Amino acid sequence: MCADHAGAGPDYAARRSALRSLLIENEVDALLVTDLVNIRYLTGFTGSNAALLVHAWEMRNAEERTVIGTDGRYRDQVAQQVPDLRAEIARATARRIMELAGEWQVGRVGYESHIVTVDQHRGFAEQKTGLELVPIAGLVEQLRMVKDDFEVAQLRAACAAGDAALATILERGALRPGRTERQVARDLEWAMYEEGAEAIAFKTIVAAGANSAIPHHRPTEAILKPGDFVKIDFGAVVGGYHSDMTRTFVLGAPSDWQREVYALVEESQRAGRKALRPGADVVDVDAAARAVIEAAGHGKLFSHGLGHGVGLEIHEAPGIMKTGTGTLLSGVAVTVEPGVYFPGRGGVRIEDTLVVREGGPELLTNTSKDLTVVE
């Protein structure tokens, strides 16, 4: 079992303080947060119904008008998880929070326009609170990109659970000809729980033979056969944080084309990892790995972006792809996952989770990337 992370927990007040700086830059007096992942990031609350109002200014009595709302099911939970904030208990949590903002004459209230539905926005407007509603997207996600020490520790633990689980099923002989993709996937998921995962990060991908050429193939009753590539993409959740790793195996002696394509993807993945550094443009990182595959004449067979951010969600900002925007910062956790897929024949993807650091990225997924032959 993976050891629990020991040490100081998140500084939620500091996170809210950092958000206030962004609110001032965006000229709003408060932000209504309704995305549950963002609420967890800012407060630690993990219930399924919540809204949060964060004021843009620091009150003399710290955060006296920053308030979290939830319903009666979570009365005790919110008191335990968020003891430092006022809690409002109401079934229509966002509506109650907006009522308070109106009573306090907050003025300009930002809302998460990428989260709030048209109907929800109409409901806020119909409340007649006198507030000016301002659409703002991605402010909390901007903060979430850079991980603090606590978050990196959780990511390390999640990645360690994945590493250990994969090693376990290999040791048990779970990956072998005659078994089905679904059997292998279920064994791997159970092993992640045995190694300390609280949840599975996403639907596990086990793709054998021709199915390995499908980037996001879902496991079926397809039977693993000698000579198959078997691509396994999976992750564990620890402390709310997700790991993400892909390894591709070959059952029995690999053919020449399998060795060649594996070596090509391995070289591309190495180039992508090397390009990870603070200040690097995400488009340039993608290009560094993609150039290796294009030079081999297989550019069209690398059909997806190079990677993505990872944290409280399996897919977070930034996106490392041709159409990505922005530059990397130190402390950003990302994946690097190039792949080459020959339709009807088979494919290879190699993926790691890493943290961008000065002097080179920190590798969190430590399973060997050498071509592994399973006899």
pLDDT at 1 over 60: no
Q: What is the pLDDT at residue 59?
A: 56
Q: What is the pLDDT at residue 194?
A: 98
pLDDT at 7 over 60: no
In this predicted model, what pLDDT tens digit does every residue of 323-359 receive, in sequence order?
A: 999 999 999 999 999 999 999 999 999 999 999 999 9
Contact partners, residue 35, CB within 8 Å, separation at least 6: 112, 115, 140
β-bridge mates for residue 108, sequence order: 132
Express as a percent the part of the chain with pLDDT over 90: 94
Q: What is the pLDDT at residue 65?
A: 82
CA-closest candidate to residue 34, choices 150, 143, 136: 136
Which two structure tokens, joined as six digits, stand for 134? 């301002």
In this predicted model, what pLDDT tens digit does every residue of 78-118 receive, in sequence order?
A: 999 999 999 999 999 999 999 999 999 999 999 999 999 99
SS3 letters across the chain: CCCCCCCCCCCHHHHHHHHHHHHHHCCCCEEEECCHHHHHHHHCCCCCCCEEEEECCCCCCCCCCCEEEECHHHHHHHHHHCCCCEEEECCCHHHHHHHHHHHCCCCEEEEECCCCCHHHHHHHHHCCCCCEEEEECCHHHHHHCECCHHHHHHHHHHHHHHHHHHHHHHHCCCCCCCCEHHHHHHHHHHHHHHCCCCEECCCCEEEEHHHHHCCCCCCCCCECCCCCEEEEEECEEECCEECCEEEEEEECCCCHHHHHHHHHHHHHHHHHHHHCCCCCEHHHHHHHHHHHHHHCCCHHHCCCCCEEECCCCCCEEEEECCCCCCECCCCEEEEECCEEEECCCEEEECEEEEECCCCCCEECCCCCCCCEEEC
- The rounded distance, in Å, linking the Cα atoms of 1 and 193 is 9
In this predicted model, what pLDDT tens digit does every residue of 80-89 receive, in sequence order?
A: 999 999 999 9
pLDDT band of 46, cuts 50, 70, 90: very high
245-251 and 316-320 strand pairing: unpaired
Cα–chain-centroid distance for residue 201?
8
Q: What is the pLDDT at residue 27?
A: 94
Q: What is the pLDDT at residue 5?
A: 40
Contact partners, residue 76, CB within 8 Å, separation at least 6: none
In this predicted model, what pLDDT tens digit does every residue of 49-60 receive, in sequence order?
A: 999 999 987 655
Q: What is the pLDDT at residue 251?
A: 98
In this predicted model, what pLDDT tens digit does every residue of 265-280 receive, in sequence order?
A: 999 999 999 999 999 9
pLDDT band of 64, cuts 50, 70, 90: confident
pLDDT at 63 over 80: no
In this predicted model, what pLDDT tens digit does every residue of 285-295 receive, in sequence order?
A: 999 999 999 99
For tokens 């690999």, what's the residue?
Answer: 254
In this predicted model, what pLDDT tens digit does every residue of 148-192 receive, in sequence order?
A: 999 999 999 999 999 999 999 999 999 999 999 999 999 999 999
pLDDT at 6 over 50: no
Which two structure tokens, joined as six digits, stand for 347? 């494919």
Q: What is the pLDDT at residue 169?
A: 98
pLDDT at 4 over 50: no
